[in-house]
């Protein structure tokens, strides 16, 4: 649900599409990727 466009109101985007990161990446990088943020 949190990836649904406008789920929290018109024009509100909470999470982007998942960004792939290596499996052995640090936890913080993997979490950022899950939230749709590029850790680089």
**pLDDT tens by residue, 8-37:** 888 887 888 899 999 999 999 999 999 899
Q: What is the pTM of this model?
A: 0.69
Residue 22: predicted pLDDT: 96
Q: Which residues have a Cβ under 8 Å from the Cβ of 37 and sit 6 or more positions away?
A: 16, 19
Q: What backbone torsions phi and psi does residue 32 show, to the nearest 5 degrees?
A: -60, -45
* Gap between the Cα atoms of 4 and 31, Å rounded: 19
The two structure tokens encoding residue 33 = 């990727």
Range of the domain at 7: 1-40
Residue 12: predicted pLDDT: 81
DSSP 19: P
Is 3's pLDDT higher than 80? no
Number of compact structural domains in the chain: 1
């Amino acid at each position: 649900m949190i990836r649904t466009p406008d789920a929290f109101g018109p024009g509100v985007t909470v999470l982007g599409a998942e960004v792939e990161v290596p499996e052995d990446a640090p936890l913080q990088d993997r979490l950022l990727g899950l939230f749709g943020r590029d850790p680089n």
